[in-house]
Amino acid sequence: MRSLIVGTGSYSPEKVLTNADLEKFVETNDQWIVERTGIRERHVGAPDQASSDLAFEASKRALEMAGVSAADLDLIVLGTITGDMPWPSTAALLQGRLGNKKAFAFDVSAACSGSLYALSIADRYVATGVAKNALVVGVDMLTRIVDWKDRNTCILFGDGAGAMVIKPTDDPKRGLQSFHLHTDGSQWAILHQPGPGSRHPLSQQLLDERGHYLVMNGREVYKFAVRALVDSCREALAANHLSASDVTYVIAHQANKRILDATLERLEIPASKCWMNLEKYGNTSAASVPTTLDEANRAGWFKPGDTILVTAIGAGMAWGAGIIRW
């Protein structure tokens, strides 16, 4: 048995922060941001919105498309690194909000690869018959943990949520085919948030040293990302006996237009096959893949049996690729 995506949904907070807005508080400019990243604007959560609120909106939309009632979910897997609170899991909070009593629910911490990791886990439960109606969510509010004084990072990120409902299918030509996930923990320092945590508990010193903000070595992440995305996509294609020309569409984590262009060029896949939306949203971390999938789906891109290559990379470093037969 395989699992099939039967519903997608996404949600972006209302408030939009443009590159021109950023120019007012950090030394940057629209031209630099567009040329180096492809980003023009990003969405920022309202002060009273938390990740589970964004996840709730995206989940409602995915459930509606799937024709599945929230009460019937038996599994919720949620990728995030900016949950509502340290614990309990944002998946548990989402379950409560959805009024569901039946599902077991947990978070996955794999940063920008969070929803890809979450999807691969939910796939295992569904394909083995343990779960029949699974909800997979990617949500992040990185604007809550970026240093708005650091122009190297604050221009990149936005808030959002994306969701997918998966169910079992007997159709051998459709469904999630395989995932190829990787982690290189020796590279954790190139993209991380020092605290608060058990290494650096909340303290005045942590705040004074700005240790509660996201830290990134952009150049190192960039180099790592292109190599890792290309390698994992090649691995996913080879495992499914596919060549680049067999790929109908690519759904990729929206980190940086240059990273995606370089990756697609190396894979010899035309850029027109890859849905791009980072111009509007920036990098929304775990929300990026399911939001992108939802937009392409609602635009009518996918037909049953289409071959979709999905790929993501983020802090860990954690990355991977998978093949979906729509």
Sign of CA dihedral 206, 210, 213, 219: negative
What's the CA gap between 272 and 128, in Å, rounded?
A: 35
Q: Which range, of 87-95, 123-131, 217-225, 265-273, touches ligand UT7 by CB under 6 A?
A: 217-225
- The CB-of-224 to ligand UT7 minimum distance in angstroms stands at 9
Q: Which residues contact 240 (CB under 8 A, 6 or more apart)?
A: 177, 178, 323
Catalytic-role residue among 19, 43, 100, 112: 112
Size of the site for ligand UT7 (CB under 6 A): 19
Pairing of strands 159-169, 2-11: antiparallel
28 touches ligand UT7 by CB under 6 A:
yes
Site for ligand UT7 (CB under 6 A): which residue of 79, 158, 314, 320? 314
- Name which of 80, 66, 57 is nearest 133 in CA terms: 66
283 touches ligand UT7 by CB under 6 A:
yes
Q: Is 180 a catalytic site residue?
A: no
182 touches ligand UT7 by CB under 6 A:
no
Q: Is 253 a catalytic site residue?
A: yes
Can you name the residues that pair with 4 across neighbouring β-strands?
A: 167
**Which two three-digit tokens encode residue 88?**
């309990």
Encoded amino acid at 143, one letter:
T
Query: Which residue has tokens 């997979």?
Result: 136
Dmax (CA) of the chain = 57
Strand ranges across the sheet with 159-169:
2-11, 159-169, 134-141, 75-79, 104-108
**Which two three-digit tokens encode residue 115?**
């929803």
What's the CA gap between 221 and 203, in Å, rounded?
A: 29
Site for ligand UT7 (CB under 6 A): which residue of 12, 37, 49, 277? 37
- Angle value at C-alpha 255, between 253 and 257, nearest 5 degrees: 105
Sign of CA dihedral 291, 296, 299, 303: negative
Site for ligand UT7 (CB under 6 A): which residue of 213, 222, 249, 302? 222
- DSSP letter string, 17-57: EEHHHHHTTSS--HHHHHHHH---EEEE--TT--HHHHHHH
Q: Which range, of 83-91, 94-102, 164-172, 216-224, touches ligand UT7 by CB under 6 A?
A: 216-224
* Nearest residue (CB) to ligand UT7, 166 versus 317: 317
Closest residue to ligand UT7, based on beta-carbon distance: 218
Residues numbered 144 to 163 that lie near ligand UT7 (CB under 6 A) are 151-152, 155
Catalytic-role residue among 19, 100, 133, 253: 253
Residues numbered 256 to 275 that lie near ligand UT7 (CB under 6 A) are 256
112 touches ligand UT7 by CB under 6 A:
yes
- The CB-of-236 to ligand UT7 minimum distance in angstroms stands at 19
Residues numbered 65 to 104 that lie near ligand UT7 (CB under 6 A) are none
Q: Which range, of 32-40, 74-82, 88-96, 135-143, touches ligand UT7 by CB under 6 A?
A: 32-40
- The CB-of-313 to ligand UT7 minimum distance in angstroms stands at 6
- The CB-of-216 to ligand UT7 minimum distance in angstroms stands at 6
What's the CA gap between 219 and 175, in Å, rounded?
A: 36
Known catalytic residues are: 112, 253, 283
Residues that bind ligand UT7 (CB under 6 A): 28, 32-33, 36-37, 112, 151-152, 155, 216, 218-219, 221-222, 225, 255-256, 283, 314
